[in-house]
A and B are shown apart, each in its own frame.
Chain A
Amino acid sequence: MLGYIVRRLLSTIPVLGVVALIVFLLLHFAPGDPAAIMAGDSATPAQLAEIRQRLGLDKPVFVQFFYWLDQLRQGNFGTSLHSNKPVAEMIAARVGPTLSLAVTTMTFSILVAIPLGVYAAWARGRLSDRLVMTLAVLGFSTPVFVTGYMLIYLLSLKAGWFPVQGFASLASDPIRFARTITLPTLALSTVYIALIARISRSSVLEILGEDFIRTARAKGVPERSVFLRHALRNAAVPIITVIGSGAAFLIGGVVVAESVFNIPGLGRLVVESVLARDYPLIQSLILLLSVIYIGINLVIDLLYTLFDPRIRY
């Protein structure tokens, strides 16, 4: 068990390295001279050279890469070209709303999707199964911004139950938090619920075809137990795998949803930094979101051991 955890932790190192390299090269080979962008149009060659030296841009690529990594290690994520504030500070200011949204979405989705998927597997082939599955396809075919505006139109503009946009933190105003977080959570959840429900259904159905399910039936286990005790537990690994890989959709969705609902989180910061071509900020944000994604999947892999004893070697 410990061996597995250590090995799994170690195995993320090369992935992190490759991600860091990709993010670094992405911006390194971006057209346009970062120094020139930083300095602005009216900079003199001397100013440019000074900035280059300060950023280490006059060194070979791999030296720059390791210099950059070393800076990251020290917690120095650079300075925004645009606002001149430290990138770390700008990101920290925006983490809260995004984190709230991600947590509510994940919780809500998992709570809804797994029962839905298991139910569909139980009702396999019946009208209710087909209905649930068709809705699921519709769910991940509809982009977050379309779902989001539909919800705003129906529940805010027409029904008036929720504010159209905005955000309040849980600590400052719990009631307003609940009112503002509901629609973005619903909008983000549709894709996630659809993904998890589909995989829950198909995994449970696949497990139901296994020999040991026949054994369970042969020994007189009631059908309900066959589903919940034997099939669902064995279907857990593919289901939580999708919860992990689906986090990529969630992170992408956050970028869009924050824009739709005007939530001052990391997603909005991504768009703002891109529009402003604020390279140090973009770099750090991609890296951060990727690390979060890798981290979620690391946790998922460790969760495997809870569900499948064979992984505890």
Chain B
Amino acid sequence: MQKVQDLPGKAPAAARSRPRSRDWPVRVACAFLVFILIVAVVGPFLTSGDPLHINAANRIKPPSAEHLFGTDAMGRDVFARVIYGARTSIIVGFVAALASLLLGLAVGLLAGYFPLADATIMRVMDGIMSIPSIVLAVALVAITGANLGTVLIAIIVPEFPRVVRLVRGVILSLRSEPYVEAAISLATPTWRILFRHMLPNTLAPLIVQGSFVLASAILTEAALSFLGVGLPPEIPSWGNIMAEGRTYFQLRPGLIFFPGIFLALTVLSINLIGDALRDRFDPKLEKRH
């Protein structure tokens, strides 16, 4: 629960002035994330390389002026593929994170405010959370067959119960807050209590959680694709590029390292921003898991 009762002026001023000298990693993280977002949106227009263009004469070449990151086993330009991969990874990550948050919020509100629904919902959530998420994702893809939609579902299903648990926790603690009890005493309708008095207070933890869900979603997609059970190979994603680079790793480690470094830096940036948001909103809010 966040503290809403801080004295005016005093605490916020201190909180604002303190981290200034120390937040350069967060600034760098923000800059990098913006860079990746730009690459994801306009990148494909900037690179002349075609990520799908197969050139048998030009297989697994080292980096050169023409092919910045070299070429892969089918002679495709790795730089172009990494740029296109950014788009795939970012889109999958954001869509999955947003869907997890919305679904988790809806179910969490239900569980938190209606005790009758709570027991059943939380049992199911506990069950889903008891299946290690990568294993569940792998299984979901196995059953439904790998395409963009099923990969999204495979990321969302293991992820959203954590959001449910968070939202439910916040709602439960808010229910006993005197200001909510005051609203009940004023005969405020239930939907109004939920949306006017409770929902706004879930936003801060939800945004923080959202950043961690986003990081996790991008990682899960990459892991699925890397294992060969994720996105179909014709869609370039960082995981796919690495999966294909495995065979020639000893010869051309860049096939794995270039997309790998982009992936790690992107996730790192998101996590750093998430940490900073958490510290700002509420130092006591714990990282999920």
Give A residues with C-beta under 8 Å from B. Answer: 14-15, 17-19, 21-23, 26-27, 30-31, 130, 134, 137-138, 140-146, 149-150, 152-153, 157, 164, 195, 198-199, 202, 206, 238, 242, 245-249, 251-253, 255-256, 259, 270-271, 273-275, 277, 282, 285-286, 289-290, 293-294
Q: 1/0 per residue B215-226: CB within 8 Å of A?
A: 100010011001
* B250 CB contacts on chain A under 8 angstroms: 157, 164
A246 to B133 Cα, complex, angstroms? 11
Q: Which residue of A lies closest to B29 (CB)?
A: A137
- Asked whether B123 lies within 8 Å of A14 as measured between CB atoms, the reply is yes
Q: Which residue of B lies closest to A246 (CB)?
A: B289
A270 to B141 Cα, complex, angstroms? 12
- Asked whether A141 lies within 8 Å of B287 as measured between CB atoms, the reply is no
A273 to B270 Cα, complex, angstroms? 33
Given the known inter-chain contacts A18-B126, A19-B130, A143-B222, please indicate yes or no for A149 contacting B249, CB distance below 8 A. Answer: yes
- Asked whether A141 lies within 8 Å of B227 as measured between CB atoms, the reply is no
Given the known inter-chain contacts A141-B215, A206-B284, please indicate yes or no for A289 contacting B140, CB distance below 8 A. Answer: no
A253 to B22 Cα, complex, angstroms? 32
- Asked whether A256 lies within 8 Å of B144 as measured between CB atoms, the reply is no
Q: Which residue of B lies closest to A286 (CB)?
A: B139
B72 CB to closest chain A CB (Å) equals 15
- Asked whether A275 lies within 8 Å of B229 as measured between CB atoms, the reply is yes
Besides the contacts A145-B242, A286-B135, what 20 more A-B pairs have beta carbons closer than 8 Å? Answer: A18-B124, A18-B127, A21-B127, A23-B131, A26-B140, A30-B144, A31-B144, A134-B25, A138-B264, A143-B222, A143-B260, A146-B261, A146-B263, A146-B264, A149-B253, A149-B260, A202-B286, A271-B228, A273-B142, A286-B131
- Asked whether B219 lies within 8 Å of A143 as measured between CB atoms, the reply is yes
B259 CB to closest chain A CB (Å) equals 9
* B270 CB contacts on chain A under 8 angstroms: 141
- Asked whether B253 lies within 8 Å of A153 as measured between CB atoms, the reply is yes
Residue in A137, A157, A251 with the greatest tally of chain B CB atoms within 10 Å: A137
Given the known inter-chain contacts A141-B271, A270-B138, A274-B139, please indicate yes or no for A256 contacting B226, CB distance below 8 A. Answer: yes
User: CB within 8 Å of A: which of B84-141?
Assistant: 123-124, 126-128, 130-136, 138-141
Given the known inter-chain contacts A18-B127, A290-B130, please indicate yes or no for A149 contacting B271, CB distance below 8 A. Answer: no
- Asked whether B132 lies within 8 Å of A137 as measured between CB atoms, the reply is no
Given the known inter-chain contacts A164-B250, A277-B142, please indicate yes or no for A137 contacting B275, CB distance below 8 A. Answer: yes
**5 pairs, A vs B, C-beta closer than 8 Å:** A15-B130, A23-B131, A31-B145, A143-B267, A293-B131
A60 to B250 Cα, complex, angstroms? 53
Q: Which residue of B lies closest to A149 (CB)?
A: B256
- Asked whether B284 lies within 8 Å of A146 as measured between CB atoms, the reply is no
- Asked whether A27 lies within 8 Å of B143 as measured between CB atoms, the reply is yes
Which 3 pairs between the two chains have the least Cβ-Cβ distance?
A18-B127, A252-B134, A146-B260
Q: Which residue of A lies closest to B259 (CB)?
A: A146
**Any A CB within 8 A of the CB of B82:** no
A206 to B272 Cα, complex, angstroms? 20
Q: Which residue of B lies closest to A250 (CB)?
A: B132
A294 to B223 Cα, complex, angstroms? 23
User: CB within 8 Å of A: which of B5-39?
Assistant: 22, 25
* B132 CB contacts on chain A under 8 angstroms: 247-249, 251-252, 289-290, 293
Q: Which residue of A lies closest to B219 (CB)?
A: A143
Q: Which residue of A lies closest to B128 (CB)?
A: A22
B214 CB to closest chain A CB (Å) equals 12
Q: Which residue of A lies closest to B243 (CB)?
A: A145
Given the known inter-chain contacts A150-B257, A256-B226, please indicate yes or no for A198 contacting B287, CB distance below 8 A. Answer: yes
- Asked whether B289 lies within 8 Å of A242 as measured between CB atoms, the reply is yes
- Asked whether A142 lies within 8 Å of B264 as measured between CB atoms, the reply is yes
**Any A CB within 8 A of the CB of B235:** no
A294 to B133 Cα, complex, angstroms? 13
Q: Which residue of B lies closest to A274 (CB)?
A: B142
* B134 CB contacts on chain A under 8 angstroms: 251-253, 255-256
A44 to B176 Cα, complex, angstroms? 64
- Asked whether B127 lies within 8 Å of A143 as measured between CB atoms, the reply is no
B56 CB to closest chain A CB (Å) equals 26
- Asked whether B289 lies within 8 Å of A149 as measured between CB atoms, the reply is no
- Asked whether B139 lies within 8 Å of A282 as measured between CB atoms, the reply is yes
Q: Which residue of A lies closest to B274 (CB)?
A: A137
Of A130, A137, A245, A274, the residue contacting B289 (CB under 8 A) is A245
- Asked whether A30 lies within 8 Å of B260 as measured between CB atoms, the reply is no
**Any A CB within 8 A of the CB of B74:** no
Given the known inter-chain contacts A19-B131, A26-B143, A293-B132, please indicate yes or no for A274 contacting B223, CB distance below 8 A. Answer: no
**Any A CB within 8 A of the CB of B193:** no
